[in-house]
Structure 1
């Protein structure tokens, strides 16, 4: 008769069998619906002796019943269902969880009915229904889960959480942008005080040199400088010296030569110091990104890994101000292009000004396999999106919650899960070389400021040239024509006077002759 009752696995049913000499205590339970009732003898004693209730036998075996479960595989085209340690950067989480499930099968003595799903499942707010992994729990199709899931409040209505398993860490990986992309490196070699000192020296040298040349011409002791002395000409001369262009002619006076020599020496020292600093700055990254706000203001574009939907959901649901701003400015304008496979995102970090948000399990192995030592040292991490606790789920009110939690906890306490994690979870890549040890070619972005300066100078020269043409055609031409007209009038007037004088003289001669 008792076999007709549904005595669940986690129930505590004790039967007392009354006999003449002694009384027997029995524990009853079933391992699953439709299975036979399991009766275990606890002991004999008096009716009032309740110590026997603490002597119930351990329920460690599920008698090979079939247990429906599921495994989440986000990339089915890359899935490799094997325990062999190759291509371990593919499907890390399914392999990790399946290894734990294999041990759990032996611990529980069950047979599993394993199915695969491609998403962890999120609730549709309009219908209240879950899809994917969570949808199977909601429909009652699976009893326990193989893949660990993050703890969310909306999932408590369809599942119960057992114990935490492998901790996951979500990071934003990026390379610091070069100094040229965030500042003008051509002004960085010298401090402001040094630039002002150089400017003051150039002005002082120009004034001295101009006075020496002017005095030498006036008192006739400067014969080696054939050009006309003007402030603009001397200014261009000093500028050419500071730019390592030299001089075409040298003065002959001793004072002028001393001034020229000191200017050349100062130019050489400034030039060598400036060049050395520029080379170092071109090869050096900046350190402007230290937190999420710096990343928001930086020129880096940003992407999110699609290995899990947690990053996508968290970015959309977060109420934190800087995370909402990061999503609205860096992620949302890209649409679906912002969500990339881990391998694609890590490759973009290597070659572009790009920040990629993903779980470290998917990043570290790819970085170790594809990055050089210098590139590894140039990487930086920001912990922007904290990853919540990951736990093994069971169906809501499942009778197996307690035993599953106990067995998984036993694996964790005995070091089994740590060993599995060491096999599958890649460690953080070590930096064995100094940052910047590798040569980096100068890109157009680093040379953009000089190009802008040169282009602006050429445009200004063309503009001034056009103004000069207009001025000489309209103003100098009319003035020259007016001058010529006045000269012609004077010449004509003079010719008329000459002819009148000649006629008057000829008339007088004729009069005298008569």
Structure 2
């Protein structure tokens, strides 16, 4: 009898070990069949020490990293899989712990072991979401039956889908391996979008009918694309309206961001990326790209530089100066020799001043009453006039072109801040916040010109702003699309060719904001990408957005020459007059030539 009892004990122990080995092999097989990098966290297992060691050994032999700890690294979120046994007494406490609620969302994965005992009362309180990858493995003898559990919303019922079974061999019966394709039906659960409209209140009545296309094109495109995404997810589309994108003032968010933060909306209209917003929202994808910046016509070339020095290169100017100096020297010696032979009133008197006078007359193609009398001097004068005539013709032709040419001097924010253009902005909500968000010297300088500390701020309606752009010397800050739409309607063809835009915010492309840790984040991301890849997003954008007007061909147009264009010439005349007066005073003092009044 004692021998029989001992054998029975051995058999019982062997049966326990075999059951443990089945569980270990199942866990190992499940992780391998995931075909993903996995870091297995054995979350509070109450197994015996030798069973835990056996599990770690088998996982290590299979090349699977594992740890018996509740600690998780944020750098391995996409690899983390939690293993928990519902037969352990503290598993129920884990599911009801609020601090662990985020662990049931994407990208964490869960493998939960269960015996035949019904644990539905525990699992119904688990904070699952549409993106949860939560697998319940129920054991009966040596067979594990796998079910995936998720909810369409935090208050919804638990939905169970058969995943597969294990009886020594793992069988995966999922229709699709991608989580999105298994969860894209959220069964009519309502999703709400916060739409930002700022151009016109009537936009709320024309979000989809393409009427009043000049107003709030970004909001309309965003809603059309988001509605398609909602339909792909079998969600009930809803929207609310806001008149502000959302900015933080005195620690409180406003507008669309506040709607998302306080669960009045699940996502919002395409918006710019700001560091502050990353604390409360996540960005998904760009669906209605737009640019924000200063738009202006390049000022005339004479506005930014002295055009009278541009016709010739430095080498040509140096060669011309050398030619003039050489002419003065040769005429001086020729006239010096002629004076010794004969002297007449119209003859050069052999001084440097007369030689300079004749050379400058030739340089300006004006002629002079004084001239050489001999053949050598006249031949020299003819050569000088001929050479300088070619330079004069080339110079005059270039000046005519340069007087009408636009410049390319303003291409960066620094150049814009140093220019003399009038800086202004579209009178909409976001511009009143944008100018004041930056602290660097260049943007502060521009902000002070748009919103001077004293005097009236330069904010204009879109129509007036575009008209001022057309008139020139005016830079207008706005979302570029409505400006270009107005430009197409009001600008002449030749006026479109010198349009330039300079980015003030220097930011990324706008993205759709979703609340941080939203359960629908991954579903929306994939939906937006599929809409873009199908071409629907591009088609909607082309219907409602106007690109930058193309300069198909430049038409010659001549504008009147103003004082600004001739300022270098006028300045030269003023300087010349001042120098001549100084010389006159010096001569009067030197030769005692006083005028008695």
Q: What TM-score comes out, normalization by structure 2 length?
A: 0.62
The 3 A distance-change label for structure 1 pair 270 and 450 is same
Match of 1:328 in 2: 444
Deviations 1:306-352 (A, max 9, x none): 7684896498447xxxxx23213333343164666666555444433
Match of 1:75 among 199, 218, 231: 199
Aligned partner of 2:339 in structure 1 is 214
The residue correspondences of 1:375-414 to structure 2 (distance < 5 A) are: 375-381=495-501, 385-414=505-534
Q: Distance in 1 between matches of 2:446 and 2:277?
A: 29
CA contact 1:303–1:331 (8 Å) conserved in 2: no
Corresponding position: 1:449 with 2:565: no
Q: Is the counterpart of residue 281 in structure 1 residue 402 in structure 2?
A: yes
1:116–1:258 CA distance, 2 compared to 1 (3 A):
same
What corresponds to 2:304 in structure 1? 182
Change (3 A) 1:234 1:95: same
**2:86 alignment partner in structure 1:** none
CA distance in 1, matches of 2:201, 2:576: 57
Matches within 5 A, 1:69-148: 69-76=193-200, 79=203, 81-85=206-210, 88-124=213-249, 126=250, 128-142=251-265, 144-148=266-270
Contact 2:147–2:164 (Cα < 8 Å) also in 1: no
Q: Mark the CA change 1:206 to 1:77 in structure 2 (over 3 Å): closer, same or farther.
A: farther
Q: Which moved more, 1:78-87 or 1:390-399?
A: 78-87
Do structure 1's residue 193 and structure 2's residue 318 form an aligned pair? yes
CA RMSD between the two structures: 4.8
SS in 2 for 1:114: strand
After superposition, the Cα gap between the structure-2 partners of 1:352 and 1:52, relative to the gap in structure 1 and judged at 3 Å, is same
Offset from partner CA, 1:13-66 (integer Å, 9 cap, x none): 8899999xx99998776645777x476674998999996895799444455454
Cα 1:75/1:49, change in 2 over 3 Å:
farther
Q: 5 Å matches for 1:192-271?
A: 192-204=317-329, 206-208=331-333, 210-211=335-336, 214-215=339-340, 217-218=342-343, 222=344, 225=346, 232=353, 235-248=356-369, 254=375, 257-271=378-392
Give the structure 2 partner of residue 361 of structure 1: 481
Supply the distance in 1 between the matched residues of 2:409 and 2:165 (Cα, whole angstroms). Answer: 77
Q: 1:184 and 1:13, CA in 2 relative to 1: closer, same or farther beyond 3 A?
A: closer
Q: Write the deviation string for residues 354-381 of structure 1: whole angstroms up to 9, x where unpaired.
A: 4555554345434444444433333445
Alignment partner of 1:455: what SS? helix
Name the CA distance, whole Å, in 1 between partners of 2:244 and 2:135: 43
Task: Say if 1:305 and 1:311, in contact at 8 Å, map to a contact too.
Answer: no
Structure number, greater radius of gyration: 1
**CA-to-partner distance for each residue in 1:422-461, whole Å, 9 max, x for gaps?**
2223334333224x74434433222101112223444556
* Distance of 2:512 and 2:390 partners within structure 1: 69
What CA deviation, in whole Å up to 9, does each residue of 1:458-512 have, x standing for no partner? 455667778999999995769xxxxxxxxxxxxxxxxxxxxxxxxxxxxxxxxxx
Aligned to 1:374: 494
Contact 1:170-1:387 at 8 Å conserved across structures: no
Q: Secondary structure at the match of 1:225?
A: coil
Which residue in the other structure is 1:502 paired with? Answer: none
CA-CA distance at 1:71 after TM superposition: 0.3
Would you say 1:423 and 2:543 are equivalent positions?
yes
Runs of at least 5 residues in structure 1 that lack an aligned partner in the other structure: 319-323, 479-514
1:231 Cα deviation after fit:
5.7
Higher RCO (C-alpha under 8 Å, 6+ residues apart):
1
Q: Is the 8 A contact 2:272 2:509 kept in 1?
A: yes
Relative to the length of structure 1, the TM-score reads 0.70
Aligned to 2:24: none
Mapped to 1, the partners of 2:441 and 2:169 lie a distance apart of: 67
State the alpha-carbon separation in 1 of the partners of residues 418 and 245 from structure 2.
33
1:504 aligned residue: none
